[in-house]
Amino acid sequence: MEIRIVDDYREMSEKAAALVAEQLRDKNNSVLGLATGSTPEGMYKELVKMYRKSCLDFSTVTTFNLDEYVGLSNQHPQSYCAYMHKHFFDCVNIKPEKINLPSLSKNEADPAKVCRDYDRKIEQAGGIDLQILGIGVNGHIGFNEPAKNLPVGTYLVGLSAETIEANSRFFSSPEEVPRKAITMGVGSIMFAKRILLLASGKSKAPAIRDSFNGYVTTEVPASLLQLHHNSIVLIDKDAASLL
Ligand code: F6R
């Protein structure tokens, strides 16, 4: 694992987009693992800019998103599906049939099968070439919340109080934040050939300190990235301030 510290959010976003572009130039049919949230918004903006300047082509790219709330329709403005369409999918030439978003309805009869099918699709696509990650204030990656043990594959998860609180900024009140989500497991993430974790701002500094202090624990899920042979932690000075 390599930690790269940059000045600010803008530089983090530009460098992240440059790494994605490098990946696509090396392999134009790459499989990208994608994250939502405020952190990668700048990276998506940069990628869209590059696409508009004809510097990037997404027509042969396949994507798998990390996670999605359970109980929000795809059209709900806070669903990760809506986020991805607004910030990325609808702005570039990615083929709709190559977009994969996990999705679980509240009354799904067999959630375990939906999760298994998602993992199988990732496998059939040849695995993820580059996985983009943000990090929660509690060290979560995807919606893998701090826990004694963590599932390897995709699963249905209850969100922690900290995550509900942190994500309530996108909703009118904490009560509106869904309590459950579907998320790729830590195995699905760690099997990616390359991982790029992004973090910006002082609020992420404790999670960054606890994740990359030389110890590994599922109580700080991002700490597992220290075991990945090809992971880059690209963070700004504020996020790195407690390292
Ligand atoms: C989103 C995701 C989450 C976020 C994390 C940070 O797809 O997987 O792990 O990356 O909650 O969110 P922001 O970037 O909004 O601080």
Angle formed at CA 138 by CA 214 and CA 103, multiple of 5 degrees: 115
Q: Is residue 102 in contact with ligand 1, taking CB distance under 6 Å?
A: no
Q: Would you state the structure tokens that stand for residue 198, as one six-digit string?
A: 């992004």
Instruction: Indicate the pTM of the whole model.
Output: 0.96
Residue 106 pLDDT > 90, yes or no?
A: no
pLDDT of residue 49: 97
Nearest residue (CA) to ligand 1, atom 11: 136
Kindly indicate the confidence band of residue 105, based on its pLDDT and cuts at 50, 70 and 90.
confident
Instruction: Give the Cβ contact number of residue 139 at 10 Å.
Output: 25
- In the sheet that 155-158 helps form, which strands lie side by side, from edge to edge? 67-69, 180-183, 155-158
Task: Judge if the beta carbon of residue 132 lies within 6 A of ligand 1.
Answer: no
Q: Ligand 1 test: best mutation among 12, 38, 39, most atoms within 8 Å of CB?
A: 39
Structure tokens at 197: 């974790």
Give the HSE-up count for residue 243: Cα atoms under 13 Å, Cβ half-sphere. Answer: 17
- Helix, strand and coil in the chain, % to nearest 5: 40, 20, 45
User: In which band, very low, low, confident or very high, does the pLDDT at 107 lie, cut at 50, 70 and 90?
Assistant: confident
Q: Which residues are catalytic?
A: 67, 138, 140, 145
Residue 192 in contact with ligand 1 by CB distance below 6 A? no
Nearest Cα to Cα of residue 198 among 14, 65, 75? 14
- Residue with CA at minimum distance from ligand 1 atom 2: 142
**163 CA to centre of ligand 1 in angstroms:** 9
For residues 78-94, average pLDDT:
97
For ligand 1, say whether the CB of 103 is within 6 Å of any of its atoms: no
What are the structural domains, with CATH classification, of the chain?
Answer: 2-236 (3.40.50.1360)
Whole-number Å distance, alpha carbon 100 to ligand 1 midpoint, is 18
